[in-house]
Amino acid sequence: MPPLTGSAFCFAHDPTAAAARAAARRRGGAAHAAATATGELPRLKSVPDVQRHLEQLLADTLLQSNSARRTAAIVSILSLALKAIEVGSFEERLANLEKLAGGKWPTTHAA
């Protein structure tokens, strides 16, 4: 982090910012508790559901301190996001083909 204006320290290390850091930690803890307090499991019934949760997971991961584990998690999330985009694209293309075919698909496939 860059130093605060008029200080030799960044927010994380400035001794005069201790109260502000404590307040930020409380807000972060309260937000986390509120997000997990519902006890509801995420809905994963469609590609958009999965994409929405991957986006939230990426946003949460980007807030973490930089580390090799964080980088690996980001790469994994992005890889899964690409797969979800690919599946969503196939679903959309298939729906368009079904619409064009008017629901009349051949019952046999050419070998």
**b/e sequence 9-39, b meaning 16+ C-beta within 10 Å:** eeeeebeebeeeeeeeeeeeeeeeeeeeeee
Give the global pTM.
0.52
Q: Stretch 88-109: mean pLDDT, rounded?
A: 81
* pLDDT for the residue 108: 58
Report pLDDT digits (tens) over 13-29: 888 888 888 888 887 76
- Give yes or no for residue 3 having a pLDDT over 80: no
Q: Is 17 strand, coil or helix?
A: helix
Question: To the nearest whole number, what is the mean pLDDT of the chain?
Answer: 82
Question: In the predicted model, what is the mean pLDDT of residues 48-66?
Answer: 90
